[in-house]
Structure 1
C-alpha cells in the first residue's frame, strides 16, 4: 500500500488540483458497491489530509472534496437500488459477493435508519448499505436526512486525524505551518462530535417515541 500511495502523494503535492480530484474520486469510488470494497479510499483521504498543515492543500477544500464524492457515491447507489428494488441485490456484480450482501442486508434489516448512519464507519458493508436501503424501500427523504449527517461526520473523522497528527509534528519539530489551522481544527472536531451525538440522540428518541427496536426493520 505504501508503494502505491507514495507516488500519488508526491504528485498531488505538486499539483493541488489533482489532490482535490483524487480526494473526490477516492470518496466517490469507496461508496460504490463492490468497487468500494477494493479501493483504499479512506487511506488515501487520511494520507492527503496530512498535506493540509504544510499549506499544500486547503482544509476546507479537502473536506468539500471528500463530502461531495461520498454524497454522490452514496446517493447514486441508493437510487440504483430504489429504481431496481430487491432484484438488484442479486444482480451482477453484487452476485459475486453473496456473503457481504447478506451481511449488509441483515445489518440494514436489523438496524433500519441507524444502519445508514453507522455503516459509513463499518467496512466493507459501507459500500453496500446505500444500495440495500434503496432496494428494501427506504424513503429517499429519510435516507438523505441521515446520510448527509453521516457523510459529514465520516469526512471529519477521516480528515482531522491526519491534520492533527502532522500539525502536532510541525509544532514540536519547529516546522513551518499555518497558525490559523489550529482554531479551525478544534471547531471542526466539536462539530463532528455534535453531529454524531445529535444523530444518535435523534434516532434513539425516535425509537423510543415509535416503539421501534433493533430488529424491527427499515422505515
Structure 2
C-alpha cells in the first residue's frame, strides 16, 4: 500500500490542484457500484488529509472536494437506478453480483431511508445502496434529504482524523510541519490501518460467502 500512497502524497504535495482533483475522484469512484468496492477511496482521502497541517492543502477545499465527489457519485448512481428501475439490477455487470445486490436490497428494505445514511459509512455496500435505492423507487427528494447530511458527516469523519493525527505529530513528536519523516510515519500508519481493515473485511466476506465476488457460471 505504501508503494502506491507514498508517491501519490509526495506528488500531490507539489501539485495542490491535483490533490483536490484526486480527492474528488476518490470520493466519486467510491460511489460507483463494483468499482467502489475495490478503489481505496477512503484510504486516499485519509492519506491526503495528512498534507493539511503542513499547508500543502487547505482543509476547506479538501472537505469541499470530498463532499462534491461523494454527492456527484451517489447522485449519479441513484439516478441511474431511478431511471432504469429494477431492470438495472438484472443487467451486466450488476447481474454478476447477485449476493451484494441481495444484501443491498435487504439492507434498504430493513432500514428504509436510513439505509442511505448508514450505507455511507459501511463499505462495500456504500457503492451499491444509492443505485439500489433508485431502482426500488425511493423518491429523489427523500434520497437527497438523507444522503447529503450523511455525506456532510462522512467527509469530516474521513478527513479530520488525518489532520488531527499529523497535527499531534508536529506538536508533540517534535517534527517540523514539512518534515518528510513525519509524512513517512503517517503514510506507514495509514497503510497499516488500511491493511488491517482490509484483512478483516476479507475474512468477513469469506465467512459470508463472498459478498462482492461475481456469481460463478455453472
CA–CA distance in 1 between the matches of 2:91 and 2:53?
Answer: 44
How many residue pairs are counted as aligned between the two chains?
178
Shift, 1:174, TM fit: 3.4
- Which structure 1 residue ranges, 4+ long, deviate > 2 Å from structure 2? 173-177
Q: Which runs of 5+ in 1 are unaligned?
A: 178-219
Q: Which residue of 2 aligns with 1:152?
A: 152
Within-5 A mapping of 1:14-163: 14-163=14-163
SS of 2:120 mapped into structure 1: helix
CA–CA distance in 2 between the matches of 1:60 and 1:93?
Answer: 36
SS of 1:92 mapped into structure 2: coil
CA–CA distance in 2 between the matches of 1:174 and 1:33?
Answer: 43
**RMSD of the alignment, in Å?**
1.2
SS of 1:121 mapped into structure 2: coil
Shift, 1:4, TM fit: 1.2
The CA deviation string for residues 124-152 of structure 1, in whole angstroms up to 9 with x for no partner, is 00000000000000000000010000001
Q: Which runs of 5+ in 2 are unaligned?
A: 178-218
Shift, 1:5, TM fit: 1.1
Shift, 1:10, TM fit: 1.0
The CA deviation string for residues 198-219 of structure 1, in whole angstroms up to 9 with x for no partner, is xxxxxxxxxxxxxxxxxxxxxx
Q: Which residue of 1 aligns with 2:170?
A: 170
CA–CA distance in 2 between the matches of 1:5 and 1:92?
Answer: 32
TM-score by length of 2: 0.80
The CA deviation string for residues 70-126 of structure 1, in whole angstroms up to 9 with x for no partner, is 000000000000000011011111112111111111100111011000000111000
